[in-house]
Amino acid sequence: MELKDTSAVVTGGASGLGSATAAALAERGAQVVAIDLPSGIEQAPTVDGVTYVAADVTDEEQVRSALGVAADLGPLRTVVSCAGIGPSARILGRKGVHDLGLYAKVVHVNLVGTFTVMALASETMAQTEPDEHGQRGVVVNTASIAAFDGQVGQVAYASSKGGVVGMTLPAARDLAQHGIRVNTIAPGIVETPMLATVSEEVRAGLAAGVPFPQRLARPEEYARLVTMIVEHDYLNGETIRMDGALRMAPR
């Protein structure tokens, strides 16, 4: 899939994985619409080829509006979902049972939000002219190694990311007739703004648990994997772990 003279949408595009991905796609010639919440966009870097649009991934109308902005910039070929939340809580903790509303919110943002963006973007992609190989677009969703190795306190997060992994193959099969591929990346521990508040000692401990390379992953490495998936036409229906061979311990 060629990126030049096409448009792309990246959710969670104002920071971390999304910001690195938006920049990488723009560098390869795509006009990128980076979706994020207003508070995130206020802190977002200025990048040539990246347009920021405030939208909540769980709001159908806001997502449709952002997709419309992208479609006006060129044929929509690439959609990457990086938006997500990851609060921690045990099923039974010191304060009682897991907040049921919190559980539902995590699943709603991480799983339903990802599905909403994928479904609505696919509708837009399906209306574009295919390239010479019959391709219309690529969707890259973001799971986590927590989908496979969820730790204590990650029951909501692991549930939501497990759902993203679980829908990858059927989504690819559903959208094959439209020339749209679907793949998922399951990152390990990535050096994102979320980890910026953690002490160096804790960060070093996290890095020490990674077999090789013994460090945290970088957002730019996630972005590089996204561009590889987009450009690799035979990669479809796959979940790729990007974790340095890390397998998470129970806690």
H-helix or E-strand spanning residue 183: strand 180-187
Distance CA 238, CA 243 (A): 16
The percent helix, strand, coil of the chain (3-state, each to 5) is 45, 20, 35
Q: Is 157 a catalytic residue?
A: yes
| Host H or E run for residue 23 | helix 16-27
Task: Considering the candidates 52, 157, 222, 234, report the single residue annotated as catalytic.
Answer: 157
Name the packing angle between helices 155-175 and 113-125 (round to 10°): 20
CB contact at 8 A, 164 and 112: no
Residue 226: which region, alpha, beta or left (left: phi > 0; alpha: psi -120 to 50)? alpha
Catalytic residues: 157
